[in-house]
Homo-oligomer: A and B are copies of this chain.
Amino acid sequence: MTEHTVSSYDEELTTIAGRIAEMGGVAEELVSDAVSALMRRDLVLADQTIAKDVKLDELLLDIEMRNVQVIARRQPMGQDLREIMAAGRIANDLERVGDMAKNVAKRVIAMDEGLKSSTLAIGVEHMTELALAQLKAVLDAYTRRDADAAKLVRDRDSEVDAIYTSIFRELLTYMMEDPRNITQCAHLLFCAKNIERIGDHATNIAENVYYMVTGDRLTDDRPRMDETGVADKENA
C-alpha cells in the first residue's frame, strides 16, 4: 500500500461524512418546505418538495457504493468499520425522513380544498419545529462526533411523542364536533404521524452516532410511546 492510498483512506471517510451532511441539509429543507406548503396551502411548493426528494435517493445510492468500495479496498475493522456502518444506516434514516416530507407534500395536494382552517394544523406545525430541532441536533452530534449530544437527542424524543398523542386526540375531537372536518382531519392525522416518525428517525440516528463514537449500545432502552399507548422499543 503506497502512502498515497493510505492518506486517501481518510479522504474517503471524510467524503462519506460530507455526503451525510449534505443529505441532512436536504432532508431538513424538505421537511420544512412540506409543512410550509401545508400551512400556506402552497401547491407549487408541495410539488417542488416531491420532486426534490429524488436527490436523497441519489445521495443514498452514492453513499452505499462508496461504503462498498471502502470495505472492499480496506477491510476496515473496529472503529473504522463502525464509522462506515453508521454512515450507511444514517443515510437510510435520512432517506426515509425525505419520504415522510414527501408524504406530507402529497397530502397538501390531495386536500384540494386546502386547509379550511389552519387552526387544525397548528399542532402539526409546532411538532414539526421540535422534530426539526431534533434532526439538526443529531446531525450536529454526528459531525462533532459527540456521543453525549446524541444521547440527549434520544432522550428528548418523548417530547415529540407527547405532542403527537395530544394532536391525535385533538383531531379526533374536531372530527366528532363536525363531520365536515372528517376528511381533512384524516389527512392531518397522517401528516402528524409522518412528522412523529421523523422524530423516531432522529432517535435512530442518535443511537447510531452513539455507537459509532463509543462502541457501546445505548442501554436503558427508552420505550417509545405513541398514541396507541403501547410501549415499543422501535416504532419507525
Contact = CB atoms under 8 A, between A and B. Distances in A.
A183 B99 CA distance: 27
A81 interface: yes
Contact of A176 (B53, B75, B179, B227): B179
Q: How many copies does the complex hold?
A: 2
Interface in A66-80: 68, 71-73, 75-76
B182 A176 contact: yes
A234 interface: yes
B109 A230 contact: yes
B71 A106 contact: no
Given A109-B230, A179-B175, A183-B172, A68 B92 contact: no
A92 to B, nearest CB: 7
Contacts of A92: 92
Interface residues of A, number: 41
Interface stretch (A15-23, A131-139, A185-193): A185-193
Contact of A71 (B68, B109, B193, B235): B68
A129 interface: no
Given A99-B236, A186-B172, A234-B99, A110 B71 contact: no
Nearest to A73: B75
Contacts of A57: 234
B50 A228 contact: no
B102 A232 contact: yes
A230 B110 contact: yes
Q: Which 6 A-B pairs have the closest CB atoms?
A: A110-B228, A106-B230, A72-B75, A176-B179, A106-B228, A71-B71
28 contacts: A50-B230, A50-B232, A64-B85, A68-B85, A71-B72, A72-B75, A72-B76, A73-B75, A99-B234, A99-B235, A102-B232, A107-B228, A109-B228, A110-B228, A110-B229, A168-B186, A172-B183, A172-B186, A175-B175, A175-B179, A175-B182, A176-B179, A176-B182, A179-B179, A186-B186, A187-B228, A189-B189, A190-B193
